[in-house]
Structure 1
């Protein structure tokens, strides 16, 4: 390298062109750096090769490359050449961007100094740091985007770094910028691919009929993993309270205690996002949206959380929350956009899955209705016609062969009991698996349906919280009332029937159904087979069935606890 007199420190690009004699010496280093980038190896190794090339080209004692975070506000990665591991360990944490390094971050232009410590922005060196005087720093950039800075210190030949050194290092910095840009683009593409794959997995699981609870857990775990969150939760609208959301799936330190916890919509970050439908980044969830209110996100989802990304899935679906601890950097806009896209696709899949389930339920209900109609229109009518024929046969045999007549009559009774069981099955087919809506109205409709066309006058009295009964107890009560009123219509020869249902109001109360008629009463030896099913329903629930009456009518009382049993 040709000799050059010392040059005063400069904060800008050199105005004097580089010495032509310096250019050939830089070609091998630049070519090596380009080859390292073209090889497509790991970014850390590529940057290390570029720094080594810069150190060799400028004859520096030390070299470093500080990569900025995507937001450009801090040094995210530091690659060092010329300093052994023991020295680095003794110094401790790499520079965070203060002093001269911070100056280059704020003003990304080339900087050459004769004495690093003499600059006004210098903050000195930590204990154990090697002495450094001459300095050369250049920005690592591609077009207008700055990815970091390349630093060289301690020119081995003595004196300051030259304009030729600056030009050569700028070229190497440009190569480093391309490497960082390509690496970041590859990372972005890989993250996008991972997000798309996760959304596809969730959608496939939902639409293939997997258990909803498992899919929601998978959704939350995948969102937390891909957003690099410390905790996450999915909150959905509460079925019985539209003023709150319920955590149905969670991951993180406190996830085991969170499922089922309700979060109010009013005065909370989650409530605001859920109602507005706009995703938000929260740098500090500990400050509530209203004066004097602590945000529920930090309180409920994970202890020690500070930042959050809150993404709505739709007013009917819910809201997804991801959190990071206080000692970590907040989420950025890129993560929020990815979460929003993921949530949007998951929301569509959830709605489609719900539509599929609803369609399947309607199909099942249609099949049940068809089976019930066929049983009533064909099977029951044929059995009824056969029973009538046998009844005529029994009457004609009464005087000729009483024994045969009794056997035929028993067959007629068995057919009658079969019709009763089939009708009960028909009514059960009409009942959906969901809790009967407006149970009081359903009970009134059942009594009206059974007595229709029979000439029996009906009266229905309802007391207590009838519509608040559980699904299973509601179905039992419907079956009991239906069967008892059917018995009155078929066997009692009654003109009036009164149905009284008292559901109580609290869990400790009993539910009673009383069916009274003015018919001919019980026979001398009652046949209890028709009541056996009702008695079994009561026993299974810890209740009782009692029958009382004479020739002036019959009163049947079915009783069961409001809670308990199956």
Structure 2
């Protein structure tokens, strides 16, 4: 503390037990936003203030990035948070000159008008103290309007300084905890990505499938609204080749090309990441990477000096910006993703080479052994034909010789086909589902069970299959992040009839976890609904497979050959 206990005013020493109890309450958690909520509530309770606000400064240290309040309505808080930066406002003064500030009447201070809207709740007396985390300024704690009608005193100032010091310690701990949690999540995600790209049922995954996994994992880890992968286009520029998003307008960007001009394009090709605070208004951004996005990260997929492409992770306009920690982790993830892509490509090349060598061996054996034996047998039959007396026998041998000639020609055709490079066929849906399950097994600590009904590879069209895989990733991600499950079951049934009588496919992902929380976010479930509805299907959820229906069951259905707006 800045002052020893002996130096504290007598009044503060009398209230020391109460202050220490409040400090214990402040330090009772590691979630940053919960800690901030407790700080403002404690500050208001200790001083008798009607309103308490913590203003969090941004990474650059020149403006407020967030406000956490007590006593303000949501509308009042939003009005204050939405005001433009001011060089002269009260809040700006506390950012640029972090020192305690007491005012007898906030409403009479001219600087107030640039920070607070007319008829704001924040009137009357005002007290502000800086909150530091070590030597770093985190923000400021503001108090306004004593409920007993009095004014803030030196006693209140001393008490808030002590509370701000303790708050700085707890905020520092919460930041470290949050950074450690984030790092763990990104490391697990990178491990799952590598497993998905390299396991893929014998390495037969196409490059498109691998890029889809990169886009989906990046979107999930960054808590972004979309994951977009761009690769160099033949005609120059960068082409959008994969999009992972529940937003139809984001999916419309597939196939678009970013022109090879401007500073963003040059930086990406040089392997340098680009970060923007608002993609929709930043002059460097171009469609389809701009609207309707806000904070965005453009990360080069780079390994060993080779830039394979770019991963774009945007959030919606108005969403919180990416922190320095998130940016660092995202850059590391992109590098890991590029390395995994290169390893997966090398693995596919090795396995393709092994297949080619095996095909060459089979072709040689057919030519050197099978055809020669058939040819010798044909000559023997022709000799027997000349010696045959009975016409029926001679005719039968002649037909056998003709059939043998046809067989030799067919074998030679097969040999020619074996010696050609086969067109790369897409992975079957069954294989890709297995690969997704293998990837999430790393995170869950066990492998979900998988069951298929019907010839899914033959019946399910590519558009439906792609959306089904994205729905599977979302459902498995929810099971990992929120369910705390010990058992997960995945079923893909390609023999169902949809309510309108259409032949369809049904994906079911069920777990025995904690189930859906009443106050939890439902964006993931909404993404599933959007994907299903875009194909003419539906998505729903219900009780899981635990005892008494504990857990969650997600059921996602779509027509076998559903076509989304990308195909129109």
Q: Label 1:108 to 1:380 Cα distance change in 2 as closer, same or farther (>3 A).
A: same
User: In structure 2, what is the Cα distance between the partners aligned to 1:350 and 1:268?
Assistant: 27
In the other structure, the counterpart of 1:428 is 417
Q: Shift of residue 333 of structure 1?
A: 4.1
Looking at structure 2, the residues matched to 281 and 91 of structure 1 have their Cα atoms a distance apart, in angstroms, of 28
1:262 maps to: 257
1:230, CA displacement in angstroms? 4.2
Structure 2 residue 411 is matched with structure 1 residue 417: no
Structure 2 residue matching 1:258: 3-state secondary structure: coil
1:385-534 to structure 2, matched below 5 A, reads 385-395=376-386, 397=387, 401=390, 403-434=392-423
40, 52, 60: which is aligned to 2:29?
Answer: 40
What is the match of residue 240 of structure 2? 247
Aligned to 1:468: none
Please name the residue that 1:510 is paired with.
none
Q: Secondary structure at the match of 2:61?
A: coil
Aligned to 2:219: 224
What CA distance in whole angstroms lies between the structure 1 residues aligned with 2:138 and 2:354? Answer: 59
Cα shift at 1:226: 3.5
1:195 aligns with 186
The Cα of 1:104 is off from its aligned counterpart by 1.1
Deviations 1:117-163 (A, max 9, x none): 55564438655456854433211112211112122345577775444
- Conserved? CA contact 2:279–2:296, under 8 Å: yes
Does residue 320 (structure 1) correspond to residue 304 (structure 2)? The answer is: no
Q: Answer yes or no: is 1:103 the counterpart of 2:93.
A: yes
What is the distance in 1 between the residues matched to 2:78 and 2:407?
A: 89
The alignment status of 1:300 with 2:294, answered yes or no, reads no
SS in 2 for 1:146: strand
Q: Distance in 2 between matches of 1:133 and 1:255?
A: 48
3-state DSSP class of the match of 2:254?
coil
Q: Is 1:271 matched with 2:265?
A: yes
Unaligned runs of 5+ in 1: 1-12, 289-293, 436-566
Task: Quote how far apart the aligned CAs of 1:298 are.
Answer: 3.3
Q: Which residue matches 2:198?
A: 207
TM-score (norm 1): 0.62
Do residues 112 (structure 1) and 102 (structure 2) align? yes
Cα RMSD of the aligned pairs, angstroms, is: 3.6
Instruction: Provide the C-alpha distance between the structure 2 equivalents of 1:282 and 1:79, rounded to a whole number of angstroms.
Output: 24
Distance change (3 Å), C-alpha of 1:107 and 1:358:
same
Name the SS of the counterpart of 2:374 in structure 1.
helix
SS of residue paired to 1:203? helix
Match of 1:309 in 2: 297
Aligned mate of 1:336, from 306, 319, 327: 327
Conservation of the 8 A alpha-carbon contact between 2:27 and 2:35 = no
1:136 aligns with 2:127: yes
Q: What's 1:93 paired with?
A: 79
Q: Is the 8 A contact 1:26 1:57 kept in 2?
A: no
Per-residue deviation, 1:356: 1.7
Query: For 2:404, what is the secondary structure of its paired residue?
Result: helix
Tell me the secondary structure at the aligned position of residue 148 of structure 1: strand
Counterpart in the other structure of 1:9: none
Write the deviation string for residues 376-423 of structure 1: whole angstroms up to 9, x where unpaired.
22222222222222323333x16x555544443433333233222222
CA contact (8 A) 2:268 2:274 kept: no
Secondary structure at 1:381 match in 2 = helix
Q: 1:143 to 1:78 in 2, by over 3 A?
A: same
Instruction: Give matches, 1:139-178, under 5 Å.
Output: 139-154=130-145, 161-178=152-169
User: Residues of 1 paired with 2:379 and 2:258: CA distance?
Assistant: 64
Q: Corresponding residue for 1:499?
A: none
Compute the displacement of 1:325 (Å): 4.9
Rounded Cα–Cα distance in structure 2 between residues aligned with 1:144 and 1:192: 24
Q: Which has the higher contact order (CA 8 A, sep 6+)?
A: 2
Q: Hey, what's the Cα distance between the residues in 2 that align with 1:20 and 1:235?
A: 64
Distance (whole Å) between structure 1 residues aligned to residue 44 and residue 100 of structure 2: 16
Tell me if 1:382 matches 2:373.
yes
SS at match of 2:162: helix
CA change 1:126–1:164 in 2 (3 A) is same
Unaligned runs of 5+ residues in structure 2 are 425-568
Q: Following the alignment from structure 2 to structure 1, what is the Cα–Cα distance between the partners of residues 195 and 207?
A: 12
Asked whether the equivalents of residues 245 and 263 of structure 1 are also in contact (C-alpha less than 8 Å), the reply is yes
SS at 2:10 equivalent:
coil
Cα 1:407–1:214 shift into 2, 3 Å? closer
d(CA) in 2 for partners of 1:285, 1:194? 26
Q: Is the 8 A contact 1:298 1:305 kept in 2?
A: no
Among 343, 350, 374, which residue is 1:352 paired with? Answer: 343
TM-score normalised according to structure 2 size = 0.62
Aligned to 2:514: none
Deviation at 1:178, TM superposition (A): 1.9
Q: Distance in 2 between matches of 1:49 and 1:234?
A: 41
1-structure distance, mates of 2:169, 2:352: 57
